[in-house]
Structure 1
Amino acid sequence: MEKDPKYKDLPSQIYYDKLNEDIIEEEDDEHEENEESQENVYWEAIEGSYEQTPWVRDVFFKLERNLTEINESRGEDSLSKKHCYDLNYWLYEQVYENLNNNENDENFFKIIDGLQNAWTNINNDKFPNADNICHPDKTLVDMKYLKDVKHLFDFIEDFSTIKTAAIKDTNNACQKYIDYLKLKVPLYYEWNDVCTMEEENICTKYIDDYPKYNPKNVLENLSVVSLALASIFNDCYQNIINLFTEVEKIEPRTVLKHRDITGPSESNVVKIGGRALAEAISDTSQSGNMLIGINALATSLFSVVKRFNSYVFSLVAPVGLSLLGLLLFLYVLYKFTPIGKSISRTHKRVKNKFVRNKRDDFDDDEDDDDDDSDNSSDLKSSSSMESLLSNS
């Protein structure tokens, strides 16, 4: 399974990495030696079949260790069934990769069948009559198909972690998990009808309460209005909105695959689809439509957000670009054309004329002030003469 270091903190990747850890054999411990001897009983029963493929031994002992850990921790592990699928997928992947990624190799199912038989024997001996233990799934087939299921189930396991990150720091979570969500959110909606059927299938067998992990449930703890407004300037938010808009158009899965274990291992693919599955999905969809709650609200809100953003961009962008273009045109016209030079000269003449007129007005005001001053002096002189005559 390909790994991205960016997502090393996600529970699904942490768990799957543990399945691949090397076996650590302790020395000088009598108890461990006895246990190793007991473990070898299962290996010795199949060892002769794999002399030409020595790598199978390492796969077997990792399988036994992983199986024991899953069965012993199933009481505390809320996703024990999902982790059982992980182990089944891991076994297929180990054989697939060691056979040069060739599922059609004649030894592919022969090796898997032998290891699954040992798996069953370990369960019978170590966990007799135990409930809810992890069993080998002999119906699995088609690595590409199984990988899609693995991606879907990993999203289920990682849902709480991503939701918490989105609530704590929406922008940072968006930037970090956008590629992850682009891959796995569409799978959730593609498989939604299958995973909510009453009949057992590859999804309902390993995942309980599928609707609880609807990606739109994250909206319960986020401000959709703030997200809508921020998405105008935030490409990551816009990508999220686009993603949820597109997944509404995804066609539901109508074909399931499983291995026909009644025939020869080479004839291994049986497709379940057509009318029977379509009718089952139709029945599921009708009952699901009654559960409107937050999911229906979330769908409506995302649609509103999308329309709002489209409206804003369709309205503002053309007007803004037109104004910018007009300003650039006027600048070029003013700076680099004869018309601009003519406008500049006219502007200077008008400015100079305005300055001259203002200066003339100022001069006229000074003349008026001088006349007023002279008249005032004459009046004062006349008053003084009259005063002298009266005193005489």
Structure 2
Amino acid sequence: MDIQFTEEQELLRSSVQRLLRDQYDFDARRKIIASEDGFSRKHWAAFAELGLLAAPFSEDVGGLGGGVLSTMIIMQEFGRHLVVEPFVETVVLAGGVIEQAGSEGQKQSFIPDIIAGSKIWALAWTEKGSRFDLAAVTTTARRDGEDYVLTGDKTAVLAAPWADYLIVSARTSGHRHDRGGVSLFVVDRRAANLHLQGFKTIDGRRAAEVSLRDVRGQLLGREGEGMAVLEACRDRAIGALCAEAVGAMEELNSATLEYSKTRKQFGVTLGTFQVLQHRMVDMFIAHQEALSLMQHLNLSLGASEAGVSRLASGAKSKIGYAGKFVADQAVQLHGGMGMTDELDVGHYFKRISSINIQFGDPAYHVLRYAQLDTAA
């Protein structure tokens, strides 16, 4: 599959490429992740100014109406440059949930600040032992006047240390693993009795363990009907993460090919060894297959096709295995230097490894794909 982009989409892609090429090279990224904040507010503001934070949102809420395909274009370029700023967490996850489930008042209150780059959001849905199950929720919420009071713990909440607001899943009824009874709440990160323990992730980003003890939150969407929203959110996130992985794979292939042309062993360049040529061909094929599947998924997401959730699981699994293969080969063909901090190859390896476990690893999605096939 090869998507024929519109003139506007091509303009978006070239604008992102130019910005990242000029301002976000590997050395700049290393300085960003080594800083105290761990991300760049300057670059986040530049993304907002360029319209990247507005691109996926509909025009009704002040966005540019680019939808899923604009997210795909942006994330593919972000993957090529290992961008650490929380685009997926703030725009795709939280912004997508607000646009899908929020009231008109909530949309008008929250989305403009996301588009302007003035507020950062994170989605807190994972709990200890949940194993990628969106319904494995033990955090509780009870009504108290106009608001709700939340109690529970969330684990490995990506971008939480940077966030101004969290969207938290909590039970208003039912038991753990029940589809019904899961609700979503907007919580101010600086709310009383909310505590974060931040940490660095292996790919240079930031996450946190979140503890809530009678923390006040605002209901987002209908009470007890959060699962459908979270499932749609997961599908969109998978589409974005697959695009990022494909971008990273492309850069690994390019770096490995270039290295094979210059690195000499036994007096000749590595690229002259036929067995290594075969491995690089396999890497190229894996990337091309992943690219086609990623585009197919995002086109299906944009068209809201039936069965897209099953397709998302199939893509997450296939692209996950392909990404791991390409990353493994790139590291091996670069030798010991492939995992050094000074070379970008190891950083791509770590990012692909992290993408593989977000919203379910490849093995999980193989099983989910089979289960959805049986259910159909």
Q: TM-score, normalised by structure 1?
A: 0.22
Task: Pick 1 or 2: higher relative contact order, CA cutoff 8 A, min separation 6.
Answer: 2
Greater percentage in helix: 1
Greater percentage in strand: 2
